[in-house]
Amino acid sequence: MVPTQYYLILSAILFGLGAVAFVFRRNIITIFMSIELMLNAVNLAFVAFSQASGKLDGQIFVLFVIVVAAAEAAVGLGIIILTARNRQSLNVERADLLKL
Partner 1 sequence: MPILDHLWIIPLLPLLGAAINGLFGLKWPNKIVNTVALGSTGLSFVCAVEAVREFITFVAPTGQVFRKEFFDWIVAGNFRAGFDLQMDQLTVVMVLVVTGVGFLIHIYSTGYMAHEGGYYRFFSYLNLFMFFMLVLVLAANYVLLFVGWEGVGLASYLLIGFYFLRKSASDAGKKAFIVNRIGDFGFMLGMFLLFRTFHTLDFSQLFAAVRSSGMPHEAWGVFGTFTIASLLLFMGATGKSAQLPLYVWLPDAMEGPTPVSALIHAATMVTAGVYVVARSHLLFENSETALVVVAVIGCATAFFAATIGLVQTDIKRVLAYSTVSQLGYMFLACGVGAFSAGIFHLMTHAFFKALLFLAAGSVIHAMGGEQDMRHMGGLSKKIKVTYWTMLVATLAISGAPLFAGFFSKDEILFDDYTEAGSGGHILYAFGLLTALLTSFYMFRLIFLTFHGKQRYDEHHVHVHESPWSMLGPLVVLAVLSIFGGWFALPAFFGGPDYFANFLSPVFHAQEPVGLSEAAAHSLEWTLAIVAVVTATAGFLAAFWLYLRQPGKPEQLAKSLKGIYTTLYNKYYVDELYSAAVVRPLVWLSENVLWKVVDVEAIDGTVNGIAHGAASVGDTVRHTQSGNARSYAVWVVVGALAIIAILFWPNIRPMFGMLIRMTVTR
Residues in contact with partner 1 by the rule CB under 8 A = 19, 22-24, 31, 92-93, 95-100
Number of Cβ within 10 Å of residue 45's Cβ equals: 20
1 vs 97 by CB, closer to partner 1: 97
CB of 30 to partner 1, least distance (A): 11
CB of 56 to partner 1, least distance (A): 27
2 vs 93 by CB, closer to partner 1: 93
Number of Cβ within 10 Å of residue 28's Cβ equals: 19
51 vs 65 by CB, closer to partner 1: 65
CB of 23 to partner 1, least distance (A): 5
Q: Residue 43: is it exposed, middle or buried by C-beta count within 10 angstroms (0-12/13-18/19+)?
A: buried
Q: Give the relative orientation of helices 4-24 and 28-53 as an angle to the nearest 10 degrees.
A: 160
